[in-house]
Structure 1
Amino acid sequence: MTEQQRTRRLRKYEANPENSSPSSSNAGIELLSPFGPLITKTKLSVELIDKINLFADQHISKTESSEFMLPEEIVFGGVPSLADTIGRLINDYVKEAEGSQLDRAIYEVFWIVSQYQNTPSPVHFHSGDISGVLFLKVPEKTDPGQEERNYISGRKAGYLNFIEGNKQRFSKSLLSVKPEVGDFYLFPGWLLHGAEPFIGEGERRSMAFNATLEVK
């Protein structure tokens, strides 16, 4: 291995000191947040959301939570396809996180998670290098009190909780995001995450995927 290759391999682990924001209390202080895994958020098109939901509507129960895989024609069909759309986002992610260019994303599986009230997604991680979650439906009615923060279990009402590290002073270890239809999150497959149950009417529906990456 050449010195240039070795430097490139190590550089992807270096935090970027430019990733900062001004302090709200002192204009002379910058808040640096350089450590930890990269999570990106974007919106996918209404057309893709409708396409996935149309297929899922034919396979879900109206009363019981369930999971099932998406077939290849849903993942790879259409222009642009779901796979191509996510591939472009993964390429942007790899550039931002490592300064590399994606050569190929090898998709392992795409699947739908359909949940009704009182159904949790226990904290877990995925296989592969990168994973993603796309929100397809959110509950119609929830008790606003269910969204109050609970520092033992994260947030309720179906929030997606990302967990990294443990409780330490001056360190953030929990990110809770409220599900909104169309929101798509990319994150490392090893990053712990889960969802607390909600109480209310309707369905919390999401799509997830795992992929292994080859970069140039």
Structure 2
Amino acid sequence: MEFQILRPFGPSIVKLKIPTNIIDDMNKYVDEVVKSDKKSKKLDFGPNLAGNVQQEIFLEIEFMKKIRWAEFLGNSCARWIAYEKNTKLTGFEIIRSWVVRQFKNDYNPIHFHTGHVSGVGYLKVPKNLGETTQKGKNNVNGKLVLVDGSKKLFSNPIFVITPKVGDFYLFPNYLLHAVYPFSDTDDERRSVSFNAKLDDTSASIE
């Protein structure tokens, strides 16, 4: 498994790849939900989340087990804990996992998650996310922005991530983050996120 530790500021962030078969299975699952009004209503997770987006779909536990999504998350977090704390992860409980379907002008305001660890990965990304209104400005259209603390000498509190299909990022639940809106396309930006709890030893602050 490709596994990279990033430390743009205080807490570490993990960058890894979602296996292709999981991406395919998850996209198929979401496409089937979208086609069914009954399933869309049953799995509507929008009221529980911060986003102002087209649709947010709850992932059922049995489905996560079937495609080995839960296993992927658990193994990834175990490796992260081993690297950061030199200890073995003995407890990993997924609180929930969901898919966000974002379209032109949708956005996710700055927020944080519950549990101990969270993450986001990309299932579909538009080829073009649009241009800035003023030329030469930093273009953050459709990008994920992580924020830690405030600006200090030699310390930038903002880390901007350009979404790419298959990329997945793990980060502490408390890390503030937001997704900017994009324009100039009717294509879907589709991402998957989760919240999870760790065992007491892994989650302890030393």
TM-score (norm: length of structure 1) = 0.75
Structure 1 distance, partners of 2:106, 2:8, is 35
Q: CA-to-partner distance for each residue in 1:145-184, whole Å, 9 max, x for gaps?
A: 479655xxxx522111000011223211000010000001
Within 5 A, what are the aligned runs for 1:158-177? Answer: 158-177=142-161
Q: What is the DSSP-based 3-state SS (H/G/I as helix, E as strand, rest coil) of the residue aligned with 2:73?
A: helix
> Which residue does the alignment assign to 1:49?
23
Q: For 1:1-216, what aligned pairs fall within 5 Å after superposition?
A: 36-60=10-34, 65-78=54-67, 81-145=68-132, 150=138, 155-201=139-185, 202-214=187-199, 215=201
Per the alignment, in what secondary structure is the counterpart of residue 142 of structure 1? coil
* 1:66-111: CA deviation from partner (whole Å, max 9, x where unpaired): 1120111221114xx1111111110011112222210021110010
Q: Using the TM superposition, give the Cα deviation of residue 58 of structure 1 relative to its aligned residue in structure 2, in angstroms.
A: 2.1
Once residues 120 and 157 of structure 1 are traced to their aligned partners in structure 2, the CA distance between those partners, rounded to angstroms, is 10
Secondary structure of 2:99's counterpart equals strand
> Does the residue aligned with 2:178 lie in a helix, a strand or coil?
strand
Q: Identify unmatched segments of 5+ residues in structure 1.
A: 1-18, 20-32
Matches of 1:148 and 1:114, distance apart in 2: 29
Larger Rg belongs to: 1
C-alpha RMSD of matched pairs (Å): 2.3
Count of residues in Structure 1 that have an aligned counterpart in Structure 2: 177
Whether the 8 Å CA contact 1:123–1:194 is kept in 2: the answer is: yes
Shift of residue 35 of structure 1? Answer: 5.7
Distance 2:164 2:54 in 1: 19
TM-score between both structures, scaled by the size of structure 2 = 0.79
| Amino acid of the structure 1 residue aligned with 2:163 | P
- In terms of fraction of residues, the more strand-rich structure is 1
What is the CA–CA distance in structure 1 between the aligned matches of 2:8 and 2:104, rounded to whole Å? 37
> Percent identity over the alignment?
35
Amino acid of the structure 2 residue aligned with 1:189: N
Q: Distance in 1 between matches of 2:170 and 2:129?
A: 26
How many angstroms does 1:142 deviate by? Answer: 2.7
SS of the aligned residue for 1:200 comes to coil
**Cα distance in 2 between the residues matched to 1:188 and 1:98:** 14
How many angstroms apart in 1 are the aligned matches of 2:20 and 2:148? 32
